[in-house]
Structure formats: C-alpha cells, structure tokens
Amino acid sequence: AAYDGIGGDVLSGDVLSRGDETDRMAVGWARAGDFRRIAKHMIDGHGRVISATADPRGAADLYSPGADEEALDYVAEAIAKHADAPNPIQVFFIMNRTRREISFVARGVLSSAGAVFSPYIDEDLADFCFSLPWEVSNMREKTFHDEVTDRAYPEFAHVPFENGFTSDPTPRTPLRHKLKSVVDMARVARFMATDTSPIEEFSILLGLGRPLGQGFNETMHIHDRLVDGLSPTRARDLLAFADALQQHRPRHLVSDSYMPPVSGTARD
C-alpha cells in the first residue's frame, strides 16, 4: 500500500505561494472579482518556469499562437465559477489542477501499489477545509497545515518546516547513460516522423533554438505530435512502440544517472 498526500497543501492553506504576499494579493483579486488578473498571474508564472527565455509565452507561441486572450478568458471563467466560495482560488485548484493533473500520481505513478490511500481528500475533511476563509487557513503567519501539525506534535513544534523540495544530487550522467538517452531520442524521433524527417524531429527534441527548457520542450513536442491527428491505428502503433522501448530498458533500475562511482575509478 502507499500513502499520497494529494490535496493536503491546497486544502490546508497553501494556494499559490504558501500563504505569503502572493496569496494575499490573489485572494484580494478574487474578492474584487478580478479573476482575469489571477489567471494571468498563474499563466505567466507557469510560463516562466518552462521557458528558456525571459518571455513566458514560449509554449503559447509554439502551440497556440494568437490565443493568449482566449486562454485568459477561459481560465478566468473557470475560477469565477467558484466566486461564492470562502476561498475561490483554493476550490479552483482542487477541482482543476489537483483533480485533473496531480491525481495521476495516485492513479499512475503509484498504481503498482496494492492500494493508494489519500487521507487529505477525505470528503468530510475536504468540506471542512473548503469552509475556511483564507485568513483562517493562514492565521498567525502559519498555514492551517502547520498549525495543526504543531498542535498534534508539540514536542516537534520548534522544528521549522522546509519550503519546497530537497534538490536532487548532481547527476553523474555517465557515458553509457548519455548514449542510451541519445539512442532513445533517435527512436522517438523516427517514430514521430510521419510527415517530417527523423532528423528534423531529432533536432526539435534537442531543443536547438526552441523557447522552452529542455525537458519541457521534449514533453510538449512529443505530446503535440502524438495527440494531433491520433487515430485508432496510430494509437495501436504507439502502444507497440512503448512496448518496444520498454524492452530496451534495464530491469529494476529507476535511473543510472545517480549511480555512485566504482571504488578506485574516476568520475565520468
């Protein structure tokens, strides 16, 4: 069995930026009915994360040029549906990002577990958290999550909470790992080259001259190429291709990027 803390952050006070001034401003915009401003803040923020340049519209310019205003209106309308909630942004995130995106962790990444328990989205707990205005979820400079945890475990209340995630160790990227990555990318490029050349697809996957960060560029390009014009025949080909890629993967190995160097040998 596995436990997934899905929903715990948003339900217990962490909306956009763990209760700081960004959250305070967004809640004020929501109460003023300025949902379009909230939408732009979220879209630009995400754009800056995935872009390789200072322009946050990199993905939009590639995949939906000229649709910026339409996208803003669409997201703003989705937030406005929850205008009567004590914390409209909280409900929007749970009903959209958590339910439609983050939930794939429990149903996908953790699917090999015999059961996946998600205690934070217990219906009674969720309803209770939805009833709390932002000021209660962020009282005395703490999120509701932190306050409850401190009261439940007072002997550890002096231990500060860590914001964000611990950084991964610096990858070794040994030569064999780099070669496998290049070979896999070439296989993917060849599979996607239905109306283009494998070389063109490979160049795009490398991200040369593209406005997105490397990993984001690969993910979005592959998604765009595989979803656009997907047919039953192409879907079956995709499943067969995925099986073929799987056959080339090492068994029982999550990643060889962080394997420690062999004693007495130099790092690659």
AA identity, residue 42: M
List the structure tokens of 171.
Answer: 């990858």
Tokens of 2: 């596995």
- The DSSP secondary structure of 51-70, one letter per residue, reads BSSS-TTHHHHHHSTT-HHH
Question: pTM of the prediction?
Answer: 0.76
Closest CA to 5 of 138, 145, 158, 131: 145
Mean pLDDT across 112-137: 88
Binning pLDDT at 50, 70 and 90, where does residue 81 land? very high
pLDDT of 60 over the 80 cut: yes
Quote the DSSP letter at residue 236. H
Q: What is the pLDDT of residue 16?
A: 65
pLDDT digits 0-9 by tens, 177-200: 677 788 889 999 999 999 999 999
Tell which wins on pLDDT, 43 or 104: 43
Contacting residues for 83 by C-beta, under 8 A, at least 6 apart: 30, 33, 35
CA atoms within 13 A on the CB side of 94: 25
> What's the pLDDT score for residue 263?
53
Percent of the chain with pLDDT over 70: 83
Q: What is the DSSP letter of 140?
A: G
Tokens representing 215? 């990993």
Q: In the structure encoding, which two tokens stand for residue 41, read together?
A: 């803040």
Predicted pLDDT at 172? 61
Neighbours of 8 (CB within 10 A): 18
Q: What is the DSSP letter of 155?
A: G
Tell me what pLDDT residue 143 has: 78
Q: Average the pLDDT over 221-228 and give the result.
A: 90
Rounded distance between C-alpha atoms, residue 83 and residue 209, angstroms:
42
Higher-pLDDT residue of 42 and 162 is 42
Residue 113 pLDDT > 90? no
Looking at residue 265, its pLDDT comes to 46
Instruction: Judge contact between 257 and 177, C-beta under 8 A.
Output: yes
pLDDT at 254: 56
Q: How confident is the model at residue 266 (pLDDT cuts 50, 70, 90)?
A: very low
Q: How confident is residue 201, by pLDDT bands cut at 50, 70 and 90?
A: very high
pLDDT in tens, 98-108: 988 888 888 78
